[in-house]
Amino acid sequence: MLPTAELHLHIEGTLEPEMLVELAARNGVALATSDLDELRAKYDFSDLQSFLDLYYANLPVLRTDQDFYDLTSAYLARAERAGVRRAEIFFDPQVHLGNGVPLGAVFEGITGAFQNSPVSTDLILCFLRDLGPGAAAETLRKALPFRERFIGVGLDSAEVGHPPAPFAEVYQQAAAEGLHRVAHAGEEGGPEYVRDALDVLGAERIDHGIRAVEDPELVARLRDEQVPLTVCPLSNVALRVVDRLADHVLPAMLREGLLVCVNSDDPAYFGGYVDDNFAALRGDLGMTDEQLALLARNSFDACFAPDEEKAAWK
Ligand code: ADE
Ligand code: ZN
């Protein structure tokens, strides 16, 4: 198993149908169906929004710190089997606040599970871009009492029509708090989203970024500055950002000398964890052991762990 770091993983996207049903029963939350086959049949998406609709609809089953603990523990156990040594995990606090769950329970559950796993872990708080910059600033304000529990901020949810620039001020506040800054950009949105995430938000890492390849000048910049790009191959196929894995731009990105790595995004929804992504790259794209090893090494170069820790993994 190739040791790797997973840098693009939404903990809410690890909610497998079995746990969805279990948590719904535990918390008395009604589901349209508890039939696992019927639930799985819904995991067929036409684009990012069709996925987000189901992802958000499932999240009211998460209510207590124990629920977040169980979800995170299950992911970390699976990730360990996938070779993950380091995980920098996203969460969407605005969803849980909207569902009436106190932030303290979310932090307590997720970081409690971190403490009981051999995987090196840290947490990144994502703002929902479709709720706008005011809501993001309010979320950061509510999260600051838990400042020591997370290392950075990110930007996710519906991309097209919600560009990075309006979030400049909240990203500045995050930087002033010593937080790392990452952002989803260039998943469905064009190269200009990637450029603005770098220039306007000061993003240190770009999540997805695959549409950057449409702009040769941007590609040159990403190479020169060695900006990490957290690519999610099975996600891109599931959300029809690419038609087939065989058409994926990842090999071209590697050839261009970009600092790309492989991640699972929302593995419960997209057909696999990070080891499944590596296996698909080998099987469907014919990537070689050398290429896969480079992708894994890149993931450690791209992570926010201290250099001494990184050296031990590589
Ligand atoms: N939230 C969870 N997964 C996401 C993705 N792939 N893109 C944008 N927002 C998300
Ligand atoms: Zn994502």
Q: Is the pLDDT confidence value at 314 over 80?
A: no
Give the number of the ligand closest to the Cα of residue 158.
Answer: 1
Q: Whose CA is nearest to atom 9 of ligand 1?
A: 157
Q: Is the pLDDT confidence value at 312 over 90?
A: no
How many whole angstroms from 263 Cα to the centroid of ligand 2?
A: 9
Q: Can you give the C-alpha Rg of the chain in angstroms?
A: 18
Q: Domain tally for the chain?
A: 1
Indicate whether 127 belongs to any domain.
Answer: yes
Q: Determine the average pLDDT of the residues in 87-107.
A: 98
By residue range, what is the domain housing residue 72?
Answer: 4-304
Indicate whether 243 belongs to any domain.
Answer: yes
What CATH number is attached to the domain comprising 249? 3.20.20.140
Residue by residue, DSSP assigns 248-296 as -SHHHHHHTT-EEEE--BSHHHHT--HHHHHHHHHHHH---HHHHHHHH
pLDDT tens profile 163-191: 999 999 999 999 999 999 999 999 999 99
Indicate whether 313 belongs to any domain.
Answer: no
Q: Is the pLDDT confidence value at 308 over 80?
A: yes
Q: How many residues does the chain have?
A: 314
Q: Is the pLDDT confidence value at 76 over 90?
A: yes
Q: Sheet containing 84-91: give its strands across.
A: 4-10, 84-91, 120-128, 152-156, 180-185, 205-208, 228-231, 259-262
Indicate whether 310 belongs to any domain.
Answer: no
Nearest to 91 by CA among 172, 163, 148, 153: 153
Predicted model pTM: 0.98
* Residues annotated catalytic, as ranges: 187
Report the run of H or E that residue 31 belongs to, with start and end.
none
Indicate whether 311 belongs to any domain.
Answer: no
Q: Determine the average pLDDT of the residues in 284-300.
A: 97
Ligand 1 pocket test: which of 54, 156, 193, 206 has the largest number of ligand atoms within 8 Å of its C-beta?
156
Q: Give the residue carrying structure tokens 């014919």.
A: 286
Give the number of the ligand closest to the Cα of residue 6.
Answer: 2
Q: Are strands 259-262 and 180-185 parallel, antiparallel or unpaired?
A: unpaired
Average pLDDT, the chain: 97
Token pair belonging to 40: 């799985």
Q: Is the pLDDT confidence value at 70 over 80?
A: yes
Write the DSSP symbol of residue 192: H
Cα–Cα distance list, 231 to 21, 29, 186, 263 (Å): 30, 34, 10, 6
pLDDT at 196: 98
Indicate whether 42 belongs to any domain.
Answer: yes
ipTM score above 0.90: yes
Q: Using a 6 Å CB cutoff, which residues line ligand 1?
A: 10, 13, 48, 55, 156-157, 184, 187, 235, 265-266
pLDDT tens profile 113-123: 999 999 999 99
Those residues whose C-beta lies under 8 Å from the C-beta of residue 138, and which sit 6 or more positions away, are none
pLDDT at 1: 84
Annotated binding residues for substrate, written as ranges, equal: 266
Q: Determine the average pLDDT of the residues in 229-257.
A: 98
Annotated binding residues for Zn(2+), written as ranges, equal: 8, 10, 184, 265
How many whole angstroms from 160 Cα to the centroid of ligand 1?
A: 12
